[in-house]
Chain A
Amino acid sequence: MDFLNALVALSNFVLVPAIAYGSQLALGALGVTLIYGILRFSNFAHGDTMAFGAMIAVLVTWGLQAAGVSFGPLPTALLALPFAILGCIVLVLITDRLVYRFYREQKAKPVILVIVSMGVMFIMNGLVRFIIGPDDQRFSDGARFIVSARDFKAMTGLREGLAIKTSQGITVIVAVVAVALLFWFLNKTRTGKSMRAYSDNEDLALLSGINPERVVMITWIIVAALATTAGVLYGLDKSFKPFVYFQLLLPIFASAIVGGLGSPLGAIAGGFIIAFSEVTITYAWKKVLTYLAPEGLEPSGLVQFLSTDYKFAVSFVILLIVLLFKPTGLFKGKAV
């Protein structure tokens, strides 16, 4: 029995990746949940909004790299992030003005808005492919690891190494900062309060003189910032590929729904629940169990419950279980 090595192996292969992935999902799910709370539809174009924001970050990063600008050990993409957010804000505001506003004025049914968002999804997907192409793009630079497995082994003398990638550390820090800012904004500022009021009860909010168009505009701005951040962090951690962002739609929606659509706190919880279940269920537990099991009882197989290709199935099953037993999600979301 070797508890310490088991713990390190567990952190290295499960905890650290799941925390990073969970932060990315949480940021994505926050965007979905805000749109749902304020504009009252499920935005199918969210994955492609993330892709668009991340694409601008990739392009600006390349520009900065070409100009010889670097951010020391940190990835240059962090410097590009503000520009990317600006670009994404411009895109979603134009989209809202040209597309969604018309249906808002018509008071169209939510399902119509979902179909409209499918059209927007096509357009954004096409735009991204048109500008940067459908291939993999790497844009991370700077130091690759905060702690590398070899250093960790030398430092502690353990048999297992613990590696923390720079991108994972940055993901967590940026996500914490973004979430803190968001909650401060929603709970402390006048605009944030008016947003929550509008989300809780549209008619009452209108009666008390809240300007709906302003609320909607600010929502889009926040959503664009969150989506771009999530997209850039995911791209730094894995790599940038337009199609992957589309596939992220499922775990992101699962996170938002599991937490309760419309509830920001729920989106964060949902993101981590989905990420941890995905990673733990598709991880081969052989290594950890070998350390933990008593002498002679080590598992012979991989002890992997599902192959990694079935990670969609995990988010989906959790989604179904939550929907069947607690349809409003863990944190009491709303139902239109």
Chain B
Amino acid sequence: MTEPVKNTLLFAIVGGLILLTGFTQSWNTAILILNMGLISAIMAIGVNLQWGFAGLFNVGVMGFVALGGLAVVLVSTPPTPGAWSAGGYGIVLALLLGAATVVAAVLVATRMPKGRAQTLAIIAILIVGFFVYRAVFDPSIAAVEAIDPAIAGNIGGLNLPVLLAWPAGGLLAAGAAWLIGKTALGLRSDYLAIATLGIAEIIIAVMKNEDWLARGVKNVYGIPRPAPVVGYEVDLQQDPGFIARADWLGLDPVTASTLSVKLGYSLLFMVVLLALLWMAQMALRSPWGRMMRAIRDNEVAAEAMGKDVTRRHLQIFVLGSAICGIAGAMMTTLDGQLTPSAYQPLRFTFLVWVMVIVGGSGNNFGAVLGAFLIWFLWVQVEPIGLWLMNLITTGMPDGSALKSHLIDSAAHMRLFTMGLILLLVLRFSPRGLIPEK
């Protein structure tokens, strides 16, 4: 079997699995799997760019995904009335002051001659800066959070179309990645991993606690939809033309409208995925992509050839993280709400890694395939596990403690299965389903 035939077959199998879900379970579930699969595929392209192309070990994917979600709130929701005049400008001023403090400390650290005077100056700048920052910051956030805390209490957004939030999410993630990369990319792979793991936790902690930003754990609801493409169920159900078309398909208008909305999202996501996939493919084949792989395979040799390894690493780290940010923004748009407590590292960092490794690191199509396959399994392992547990426990008497425990625990088989798949692939097919050429 030739390479393209095999790959097409693999994609067809995954597509068939999703179709099978539609026929046997429900089309709603199937399209949900498709939508989240598309988003996961974009995340996987981002991670593949960093790991597959450049060998960067980033386990902070969750943080960049969450920043994308934050961007959606900051761009597309309406501003809270009065928040900016109450404290918004104060917050911006405080953040600028904080940034100025850090910049001043860095300048002192690089420009002043080393010695006790330098250390004292840095400490003095940091302490004074911290207290000035808190003095401006604390009253401002208190003022913003006092505005209608039950439904607002945050500064709100810019009220722009939600589609603009997707590139904004990418930009926000890229900015954070630039900051992180500047400090942490010189480190060895293990250290970079721990550093990114920590950054992701900090980003989530900020999003949970800074209520003025996006309401923290009180969540933001009712994020506007990309309406012209997706539409709202209620509007569709009252559109006579839509009802007629639904009737022609043999569906009742309510089901048809939910399906239509979801398919609208699928269409949008597919466009983004194809665009990013095309770009990643072009990058992989370009001289730039070859240089990246050369750096990955032998840093010393690449450096000897005059390649600036640190800058290239920073570049690809920022690019990959931006893609994860875009995916995060898309996901929050799909959910229609931002829930900071829903970001779990196992789900948003390590699962994406499983997708990339299983699909084939270094190969964009592999990453996309892995994303669809692993997401499908992530969703379907639960019902399969329940079925399996019911099968195992059929012989046991009803009401026995073991039986009910086994059936209750079926939901936790997900993580176990993902780990098993990862280990099996690493052992028996370490280059993944579609290996790098």
Contacts and interface: CB of A to CB of B under 8 A. Distances in A.
A312 B207 CA distance: 14
Interface string B201-225: 1100110110000000000000000
Interface string B398-433: 000000000011001111111110110011001000
A110 to B, nearest CB: 7
A320 B195 contact: yes
Contacts of B199: 316
A184 interface: no
Main secondary structure of the interface of B (DSSP, over half): helix
B189 A110 contact: yes
Interface of B: 55, 57, 130, 183-184, 187-191, 193-195, 197-199, 201-202, 205-206, 208-209, 345-346, 350, 353-354, 357, 408-409, 412-420, 422-423, 426-427, 430
Given A130-B416, A310-B209, 10 more contacts: A115-B357, A116-B426, A126-B417, A126-B419, A129-B412, A129-B415, A246-B345, A250-B194, A323-B187, A336-B188
Contact of B188 (A127, A250, A335): A335
Interface stretch (A59-67, A70-78, A79-87, A117-125): A117-125
B193 A42 contact: yes
B194 A42 contact: yes
A313 B205 contact: yes
A247 interface: yes
Contact of B415 (A126, A309, A323): A126
A115 B206 CA distance: 28
Given A111-B189, A119-B422, A122-B415, A313 B202 contact: yes
A102 interface: yes
B357 A257 contact: no
Interface centre among A110, A119, A124, A315, by most B CB within 10 Å? A119
A42 B188 CA distance: 12
B166 to A, nearest CB: 28
Contacts of B409: 129-131, 133
B423 A320 contact: no
Contact of A312 (B205, B426, B427): B205
Contacts of A118: 350, 353, 422
A261 B208 CA distance: 32
Contacts of B205: 309-310, 312-313
Contacts of B189: 110-111, 114
Contacts of B346: 122, 125, 246
B412 A134 contact: yes
A247 B189 CA distance: 20
Interface in A296-321: 305, 307, 309-310, 312-313, 315-316, 319-320
A253 to B, nearest CB: 5
A121 B201 contact: no
Contact of B191 (A125, A247, A257, A305): A257
A327 interface: yes
Contact of B426 (A112, A123, A130, A309): A112
A309 B426 CA distance: 36
Given A122-B350, A323-B195, A130 B427 contact: no
A222 interface: no
A217 B419 CA distance: 23
Contact of A111 (B57, B350, B408, B413): B57
The winner among A116, A125, A324 for most chain B CB atoms within 10 A is A125
Contacts of B357: 115
A127 B415 CA distance: 8
Contacts, number: 129
A122 B418 contact: yes
20 contacts: A42-B194, A111-B189, A112-B430, A119-B419, A119-B420, A121-B350, A122-B419, A123-B415, A123-B416, A124-B419, A126-B415, A126-B417, A133-B412, A307-B209, A312-B198, A316-B201, A319-B194, A319-B198, A327-B191, A336-B190
Contact of A316 (B202, B206, B415): B202
Contacts of A327: 187, 191
Contacts of B419: 119-126
A126 B414 contact: yes
Contacts of B417: 126
Given A102-B427, A110-B190, A122 B412 contact: no
A102 B346 CA distance: 25
Interface in A112-163: 112, 114-116, 118-127, 129-131, 133-134
Contact of A249 (B130, B197, B423): B197
A261 B191 CA distance: 10
A99 B423 contact: yes
A270 B345 CA distance: 25
A223 interface: no
Interface in A261-278: 261
Interface in A21-61: 41-42
A323 B191 contact: yes
A120 B423 contact: yes
A254 interface: yes
A125 B346 CA distance: 10
Contacts of B415: 122-123, 125-126, 129
Contacts of A116: 423, 426
Contacts of B190: 41-42, 110-111, 114, 261, 336
Contacts of A324: 183
Contacts of A115: 353, 357, 422, 426
Interface string A86-121: 000000000000010010000000111011101111
Contacts of A111: 55, 57, 189-190
Nearest to A99: B423
Given A115-B353, A250-B194, A316-B202, A309 B208 contact: yes
A123 to B, nearest CB: 4
A122 B420 CA distance: 8
A320 B181 CA distance: 12
Nearest to B423: A119
Contacts of B408: 133
Contacts of A316: 195, 198-199, 201-202
A207 to B, nearest CB: 27
